[in-house]
Amino acid sequence: MDARDLTHRSAAPAIPHVRVNGVRIFDGDLDDAVALLRDRLARGHGARIATANLDFLAQASRDAILAADLEASTMVVPDGAPVVWLARRAGAGRVRRVAGVDLVARLCEGSGERELRVVLYGSTEEVARDAAERLHESEGAARVTSVICPPFRPLDEEEEDAERAAIGAAQPHIVLVALGCPRQERLIARYFDCAPQAVWIGVGGTFELLSGRKRRAPALMQAAGLEWVARLSQEPSRLWRRYLLRDAPFFLRLAPAYFLGRRRPAGSLPSR
pLDDT in tens, 44-81: 999 999 999 999 999 999 999 999 999 999 999 999 99
How far is Cα 77 from Cα 24, in angstroms, rounded to an integer?
Answer: 9
3-state secondary structure of 188: helix
Write out 27-70 in H/E/C secondary structure.
CCCHHHHHHHHHHHHHHCCCEEEEEECHHHHHHHCCCHHHHHHH
Nearest 10 degrees: Cα torsion 18, 199, 189, 242: 60
Q: Across the chain, what does the average pLDDT equal?
A: 88
How far is Cα 18 from Cα 77, in angstroms, rounded to an integer?
Answer: 11
3-state secondary structure of 85: helix
What confidence tier does 155 reach under pLDDT thresholds 50, 70, 90?
very high
* pLDDT surpasses 60 at 38: yes
Residue type, 256: P
Percent of the chain, pLDDT > 70? 90
Q: Give the residue among 204, 220, 222, 252 at the shortest CA–CA distance from 103.
A: 204
Q: Among 1-10, 13-22, 137-146, 220-229, where is mean pLDDT lowest?
A: 1-10
CA distances from 169 to 19, 33, 61, 108 (A): 37, 27, 36, 20
Domain ranges of the chain: 15-113+174-205+235-253
Mean pLDDT, range 179-192, rounded to an integer: 97
Burial class (CB in 10 A: 0-12, 13-18, 19+), 152: exposed
Sheet with 23-26, side-by-side order of all strands: 23-26, 15-20, 267-269
**If you ran DSSP here, which 8-state letter would residue 83 be given?**
H
